[in-house]
Amino acid sequence: MEGTELGWWGVLIAVIGGAIRVSTPYLFVSLGETLTEKSGRVNLGLEGVLVMGAMSGYATAVLTGQPWLGVLVAGCAGALLSLVHALVCSLPRVNDIAVGIALFIFGTGLAFFLGKPFINPSAPRLPDLDLGWWSDSPHIQSALQISPLFLFGFALALFLAWALKNTRWGLVLRTVGDSSEAAQALGYNITLVRIAGTVAGGFLAGVGGSYLSLYFPGTWNEGLSSGQGLMAVALVIFARWDPVRCFYASLLFGGATALGPALQSAGVTANYYLYGAAPYFLTLAVLIYSASPRKALEGAPGEVSISR
Amino acid sequence: MTRSTLSRRGFLKRGANVVAASVAASAVPGMVAAMGNVTVGFIYVGPRQDFGWNQSHWDAAQKIAAMDGITVVEQENVPETAEVEKVIQSMIELDGAKVIFGTSFGYWDSLKAMAEKYPDVLFTHIGAIWKEGDPTNVIGYRGYTEEAHYLCGIAAGRMSDTRKIGFIGSKPLYFIYNNANGFMLGARSVAPETTMNVVITGDWNNPVKEAETTNALIDQGCDVIIANVDSPKVAIETAEARGVYTCGYHSDLSSLAPNGFLTGAEWNWASGAEFVRAFVEDDPYPNLKRGGFREDMVALSPFGEAVPQEVRDEVMAAKQGFIDNSLQLYAGPIADNQGNVIVPEGEVRNNDDVPFKLGIDWFVEGTIG
Amino acid sequence: MNSVEAVAINAAAFVITLALFGIYVATLGHNPLDVYYVLWLGSFARQISIESTLTNAAPLMLTALCTAIPARAGLLVIGGEGALVVGGVATVLAGMLVAGAPFLVGVTFMSLAGALAGGLWIAFAGALRQYRGVNETISTLLLNYIAIAVMYHLITGPMRDWERVLKTSSWSIPDALRVGALPVIDVHWGLAAGIVVCLILYVVMRRTTFGFGVDVLGGNPRAAQMAGLPINRMVLICCFMGGAAAGLAGAFEVTAVHGFASESLVVGFGYAGILVAFLSRQNPAAIIFLAIILGGVAASGGLLQRRFDLPDATTQVLQGLLFMIVLASNAAYGRLNVFQPAAWRTA
């Protein structure tokens, strides 16, 4: 078949490009959730935070014409929404997972409500960096058109991995998350640390949302997030609370998402629903393979209810 | 009746006088008829502001709301479950609705069931699959968008440099196949060596997948993209950013792609207003209304700047062909992409050959997908 | 638990929610009293409103159990959506097998097939956790996506009914085996199933040794281990029961509502069920009540849209608000002296 060879190259390029394009929201949300969970709380509501971030970022960009301002506003909106989670969970006998689900519903509801007027207008997109200048192929050039946010996320993953181990606040965060008794004995303000962890996590998730609305796919409507926020929270467990592994997991998930469309456009058109579910099959398989029945999850914060 | 005055005061404050006041009045059952007003209920499967399918119906709803003596009540995001029947009943019993517009395919069974239960109420459905024996207070209506896709295809065939065009479909349903075939037949009518890649995303609305699919199609060399999804905005903007041509669907999307927009396939749901008028004035109405350009039930978006005059002329000539019936979409010879002859040379499948069109589950020759 | 206290606190939370929602709609220019009236009108004031409410509530009762029962054993299962889908598909297949069977036999067989499929689906997640150490929250989330994808694959391929032109769907079950509406009230039989299953599971979880053992396990796994309870078996049974309830919800969506499996099974019943489960604090009897409340919010949400031209998301805002405040109100337990005769106190 003429053109098949180019076709398979096309698939590969599309998967690599797709991994980079699709992964960024997963990366930001999972980094945010890592921070939150390291402090000893689970915020299942980051899906709502992500959607709220996407909406507010888009709305800001539409109104001001400044996409970067949109990213900032998205982060702040995410932080604000997560602050609600943080404060409610600071009350005694309140289940953080349930509050997360409430935030999920409340956040998406509020974003849909406020976002109605912004579905039709087009917002300016975030610029991208051309890292494919060395290649003659327009396909490679386009696959390597990378958002600065992706690179920022990558740098952030490295930084967080280092900071959690080597800085004072990293140690405080981990202590509070691992054992509230130890933290209390050391005189840390547990509530405050957890609020900080949750709010910081919300900020990152909001930024992840603005990537969706302002860069890729770069639009705002109510179907924008197909569960990226929820899935990213799951990826944290998959990545064992390690920021660098979050990066790998996001790339893997993004690449698997891009596989279906890439194969279909190359003419492999049967079973597309199953290819579409590839990321989920893959994640489950890796989980089953890598989990261990005997020892507790390595890296799991001791206070987090989800890691039992 | 303290409550009704309360409601009315609350509404009048909003200043949307006539419509709002009559809605408030309907808070008290029985008052609608007394005011000589007819309430029309619109049910959407998604958000009515989606820059796509639902919005095309919302536009129609707004036109109907502007008619004299008509009040429109709307409910969005109604899933195709047991809830539909309850929403219809609630509109009829609590709002006094006399006409119900069900704007999603999957509402069909519910609409039929409710039509039997409420013979005085008029029901419309956008699937146009009403048949003898179904309740007579139901209207099915729908435009042949495949004709508009044919015209888009002509523009695509003329503008494509790579001779590869891309079609993104949401679900594997007959009208998606028809639209894809229309697009391809149009392209091949002017550029017979054209091939078309078809990708079915499997979702009505999934922006990430649609954007990713657009990118993948472009990576495969396609340089004209059309997206048959609920909100084609993402695909069009993505294609525009990558510098390839696009065609629209549902409504006029030309503003989204100032450089690469060719033209687009649009609905014309204006018949809905006619049905309402006929119902109010007790005139007869059809149970089935289908049509293409000839019946003015589909439309073509304005051409984008990229389209040269001779291509515009060619497209408009074909449109005139549909209008005066000199051009038929499924005119033989037509083979599918497996090599089976579907319509032999010299034969024509007419536009109103319903069983043929509903049965289409194949793509024409030259389609990869 | 002190039930007077629980009722008082929940009622207070409800009132606070309504007050906040009133402020919200007032800022949008609507009179809160009108809005309250419409909320009442759309959910309970008329027969059609009650029917809408109960129709919405029926599947939620069953999907809520999918989270509530495993939660009693200390698991966070969010797989109701997937179990419902799997149950629906199994029901269609069973319906194909028993075409021509007497009504009761056929319907029983289909319902059992749906429940069995849903039960095994969630039990699989339970087994992965007990024997492989795979976190059940993430595995059930993944299983949701997988179930939906497999169902879509089946209804567009191997099980597709090409006669249904407007929707991709599976074959239909025989018309003779379709379940109609309940007597007196026009709500499908899934409602009766939901109430009965909730009550049965209430008795099982609250009045049997097994239920007591599960509570021990959920409260303190180490204690359960030391007491020699068969932990693995108990977790699997809880997961199975929860999944079976959600699978049964899928079975009724097929036998009573659609007659076939399609994308209409994936409308968020599973996720709404999680909400109901947490609101009811995993109490199966309370689930009945809370599913009806949530169903009422959804039903009146439609009327809010129609009367005030508010967008559909208003309902979601209200639900989120209600949920958040009810959860926050948990902090009030034990704070109010009125409710604290020392003997009643529970940890």
pLDDT tens-digit map of C290-341: 999 999 999 999 999 999 989 889 999 999 999 899 889 888 877 665 555 4
d(CA A213, CA A207): 10
Q: Which two tokens stand for residue A297?
A: 């999850």
Is residue C50 within a helix (H) or strand (E), and if so which, with residue range?
helix C47-72
Domain segments of chain A: what residues?
2-125+165-307
Q: Does C152 touch chain A (CB under 8 A)?
A: yes
d(CA B249, CA B148): 9
For residue C206, the enclosing domain spans 3-333
Query: What pLDDT, on the 0 to 100 scale, is given for residue A295?
Result: 55
Q: Which of A191, A236, A232 is nearest to A96 (CA)?
A: A191
Q: What is the DSSP letter of B311?
A: H
- CA-based nearest distance A67→chain C, Å: 26
Single-letter residue type at A89:
C
Q: Which of B300, B291, B347 is nearest to B143 (CA)?
A: B291
d(CA B117, CA B115): 5
CB within 8 Å: C31 and B9 = yes
**Model ipTM value:** 0.91
Q: Does A272 touch chain B (CB under 8 A)?
A: yes
Q: Does C225 touch chain A (CB under 8 A)?
A: no
pLDDT band at B13 (very low <50, low <70, confident <90, very high): very low
User: Is omega for the bond preceding B192 within 30 degrees of 0, making it cis?
Assistant: no
Residue of chain B with shortest Cα separation from C51: B86
Q: Which two tokens stand for residue A153?
A: 């996320």
Q: Which two tokens stand for residue A146?
A: 């990378």
- Cβ neighbours around C233 below 10 Å, total: 11
d(CA C214, CA C230): 10
Sequential pLDDT tens for chain A (308 residues): 334 445 677 788 888 888 999 999 999 999 999 999 999 999 999 999 999 999 999 999 999 999 999 999 999 999 999 999 999 999 988 888 889 989 999 999 999 999 999 999 999 999 988 888 888 877 788 778 899 999 999 999 999 999 999 999 999 999 999 988 899 899 999 999 999 999 999 999 999 999 999 999 999 999 999 889 999 988 998 898 999 999 999 999 999 888 888 888 888 888 899 988 999 999 999 889 887 766 555 667 877 765 44
Would you give the distance in Å from CA C304 to the centre of its chain?
24
Q: Is A281 helix (H, G, I), strand (E, B) or coil?
A: helix
Partners of residue C321 in chain A, C-beta under 8 Å: 106
User: What is the DSSP track for C244-270?
Assistant: HHHHHHHHHIIIIIISS-BGGG-SSHH
Q: What is the DSSP letter of B104?
A: S
User: Is omega for the bond preceding A217 within 30 degrees of 0, making it cis?
Assistant: yes
Instruction: Assign residue C232 the CATH number of its domain.
Output: 1.10.3470
CB within 8 Å: A142 and B233 = no
Residue C343 within any structural domain of the chain: no
Residue C178 within any structural domain of the chain: yes
Q: Which of B98, B100, B122 is nearest to B22 (CA)?
A: B98
Single-letter residue type at B57:
H
Q: Does A222 touch chain B (CB under 8 A)?
A: yes
Q: Does B86 touch chain C (CB under 8 A)?
A: yes
Considering only CB atoms, C311 lies closest to which of A88, A92, A116, namely A116
Residue C202 within any structural domain of the chain: yes
CB within 8 Å: B75 and C312 = yes
Considering only CB atoms, C165 lies closest to which of B13, B81, B174, namely B174
| Lookup result for tokens 């494919």 | A132
Partners of residue B230 in chain A, C-beta under 8 Å: 223
- CA-based nearest distance B80→chain C, Å: 6
Question: What would the pLDDT profile of A50-92 be if each residue is shown by its tens digit?
Answer: 999 999 999 999 999 999 999 999 999 999 999 999 999 999 8
| For testing contact with chain A, the best of B74, B219, B229 (most A CBs within 10 A) | B219
Q: Does A132 touch chain C (CB under 8 A)?
A: no
Q: Which of C248, C294, C272 is nearest to C112 (CA)?
A: C248
This prediction has a pTM of 0.91
Q: Does C275 touch chain A (CB under 8 A)?
A: yes
Residue C341 within any structural domain of the chain: no
CB within 8 Å: A223 and B231 = yes
CATH number assigned to the domain covering A2-125+165-307: 1.10.3470
Q: Which two tokens stand for residue B195?
A: 């091939």
d(CA B287, CA B28): 32
Question: What would the pLDDT profile of B334-367 be if each residue is shown by its tens digit?
Answer: 999 999 999 999 999 988 888 899 999 999 999 9
d(CA B161, CA B150): 19
Query: What pLDDT, on the 0 to 100 scale, is given for residue B10?
Result: 35
| For testing contact with chain B, the best of A20, A119, A130, A265 (most B CBs within 10 A) | A265
- CA-based nearest distance C266→chain B, Å: 9
Question: What would the pLDDT profile of A138-181 be if each residue is shown by its tens digit?
Answer: 778 877 889 999 999 999 999 999 999 999 999 999 999 998 88
d(CA B41, CA C341): 55
Distances from the Cα of A76 to the Cα of A24, A90, A207, C21, C77, angstroms: 18, 20, 9, 24, 31
Partners of residue B108 in chain C, C-beta under 8 Å: 166
Q: Which of A74, A71, A81, A85 is nearest to A39 (CA)?
A: A85
Q: Does A153 touch chain B (CB under 8 A)?
A: no
Q: Which residues pair with B142 in a beta bridge?
A: B290
Interface of B with C in 140-199 (CB under 8 A): 171-174
pLDDT band at B120 (very low <50, low <70, confident <90, very high): very high
Q: Does B18 touch chain C (CB under 8 A)?
A: no
Contact C280, C287 (CB under 8 A): yes
Considering only CB atoms, A234 lies closest to which of C131, C141, C156, namely C141
Instruction: Annotate C250-268 with b (16+ C-beta within 10 A) or e (fewer).
Output: bbbbbbbbbbbbbbbbbbe
Q: Which of C245, C199, C238, C236 is nearest to C215 (CA)?
A: C238
Partners of residue A305 in chain C, C-beta under 8 Å: 76
| Lookup result for tokens 């899928």 | C250
Considering only CB atoms, A217 lies closest to which of B197, B207, B217, namely B207
Q: Does B91 touch chain C (CB under 8 A)?
A: yes
d(CA C188, CA B110): 14
Question: What would the pLDDT profile of B121-137 be if each residue is shown by its tens digit?
Answer: 999 999 888 989 999 99
Query: What pLDDT, on the 0 to 100 scale, is given for residue C331?
Result: 83
Q: Does B264 touch chain A (CB under 8 A)?
A: no
Q: Which of B220, B209, B205, C153 is nearest to A258 (CA)?
A: B209
d(CA B154, CA B316): 10
d(CA B28, CA B257): 48
**Start-end of H helices in B26-173:** 31-34, 53-65, 82-94, 108-117, 145-159
Go through chain B and tell me how many residues it has: 369
- CA-based nearest distance B17→chain A, Å: 23
Partners of residue C314 in chain A, C-beta under 8 Å: 109, 113
C30 sits in the region (left: phi over 0; alpha: psi -120 to 50; else beta) called beta
Query: What pLDDT, on the 0 to 100 scale, is given for residue C2?
Result: 62
Residue C207 within any structural domain of the chain: yes
Structural domain tally of chain C?
A: 1
Q: Is A58 helix (H, G, I), strand (E, B) or coil?
A: helix
The count of CB pairs under 8 A between chains A and B is 137
- CA-based nearest distance B320→chain C, Å: 30
Considering only CB atoms, B51 lies closest to which of A10, A112, A120, namely A120
- Cβ neighbours around B68 below 10 Å, total: 9
Query: What pLDDT, on the 0 to 100 scale, is given for residue B355?
Result: 87
d(CA A171, CA C185): 61
> Which residues of chain C register pLDDT less than 50?
1, 341-347
Residue of chain B with shortest Cα separation from C30: B10
